[in-house]
Amino acid sequence: MPTPLPDFSNSVKLKYVKLGYQYLVNHFLTFLLVPIMVGIVIEVLRMGPEEMVNLWRSLEFDLVQIICSIFLIVFIVTVYFMSRPRPVYLVDYACFKPPVTCRVPFATFMEHSRLIDPDDKKSVDFQMRILERSGLGEETYLPPANHYIPPNPTMEAAKKEAEMVIFSAIDSLLEKTGIKPKDIDILVVNCSMFSPTPSLSAMVVNKYKLRSNIRSFNLSGMGCSAGVISLDLARDLLQVHPNSNALVISTEIITPNYYKGKQRSMLLPNCLFRMGAAAILLSNRRHDRRRAKYRLVHVVRTHKGADDKAYRCVYEEEDPQGISGISLSKDLMAIAGEALKSNITTMGPLVLPASEQLLFLFSLIGRKLINPKKKPYIPDFKQAFDHFCIHAGGRAVIDELEKHLQLQPEHVEPSRMTLHRFGNTSSSSLWYELNYLESKGRMKKGDRIWQIGFGSGFKCNSAVWKCNRTIKPPVDGPWADSIHKYPVHIPEVVKL
């Protein structure tokens, strides 16, 4: 059996039990009143016509009481509908499909690494060992500037990559939805490592001649989980701006981030990160409900930046030779586990059925009163979700979540196959995974999807979607020419 999260009960038991208790208490009246109402209806149906007429005549109605009751009911209904958050729909989305000329097989990557620094055999061997165990396939993509020997990470090259991935995704989205650029009210762009002036959001406004009163935002430095942060920002904006459309762009520009040094912790991103982008159209318009693919149910964000180790586990810095790069700490997986525990502590009561919460409560009481050494009960999130889109940050990330959440291989299949086919595309990887599920024809009406993203800071963010309609496999998109090959077996080690 998979091992549970470390010290799970010690870290979340109080908050989790409290939230579970609140959930049951909040719905106690519903559980109590429904049987009573059913009993009353049954008794009324058993009465004969004469008895019902006599009962009606025995009731004394006062006009003032009737008017006050009607007014109270109308007031309560009005307050309820006005205070209820506006539903946010995902009309459609599009993922960037890189051109074949950007493909980087293992042999090409390793040959370029040797030619860039022929005297540093240790670094080349280290990157080869990482690639062998990475879970990446032979058809991932790097931007054109990274194919030069040595790479050419100029500002101009980075802008060209940004224009290629972002504009291609937006063009595809506009074609699929039929929406005009002038109809976009909100624009959110997230890209962590590349933040030019003017911003990437301004670049989109200029390219598509968006309205002058558009609400535009550019998020940078927020890591691979920034895609969910962008969704959260767009959702909040759609709550205060009725009848609006929001365009969300999630990407990572790889060109300026190639590390040329010898620090091993900084060589890892060279091996894992690949180019990609996604464009998402959100709407709070009622008439978009029927054509929308999904409805946003929950967004839960967790930030562990107050802890020094978590803050520095993914860190941009210079090595002893003054070469800048992204350093990945050895404590990354442990920190990710802690962030995940905090995230599911909040997520659990929102999505888990009462049966799972009660099982957790009984397990906790049993460990407290009977056997303290008994393993804590791990809630079964498969009871709450039909599909899981785990950030394809690397093989170790997927393995850890599969183990800790006690998932089956089919639940992590979209993440593994996305990592194999496209590599770690940062914040956009969640959308390649969702597109994988659609391309396989697995998305049915009513299905719930859990998107989980991890990012620097350290952050763990989740988004929960509900499918509005059964989705037919798309005829285009990033998986169109390769979905028939998947799933594929990914060996533990690929000998190069």
Q: Which residues are catalytically annotated? A: 224, 303, 387, 391, 420, 424
Q: Locate the DSSP E strands across 323-472.
A: 324-328, 387-390, 448-455, 459-467
**Cα–Cα distance for residue pair 285/188, rounded to 1 Å:** 18
Q: What angle do CA 313, 318, 322 make, to 5 degrees?
A: 160
Residue 115 CA to residue 138 CA, distance in Å, equals 20
Q: Please give the angle made by the CA atoms of 173, 282 and 277, to the nearest 5 degrees.
A: 45
Spatial separation of the C-alpha atoms in residues 273 and 161, rounded to whole Å: 14
Which residue intervals of 178-307 are DSSP H helices?
200-208, 226-240, 264-272
Q: What share of the chain is helix, strand, coil (3-state, %, to 5)?
A: 50, 15, 35
Determine whether 297 is exposed, middle or buried from the number of CB atoms within 10 Å of its CB (0-12, 13-18, 19+): middle
Phi-psi region of 437 (alpha: psi -120 to 50; beta: other; left: phi over 0): alpha
Whole-number CA gyration radius for the chain: 26
Question: CB neighbours (10 Å) of residue 283?
Answer: 25
Query: Which tokens hold the place of 120?
Result: 């540093």
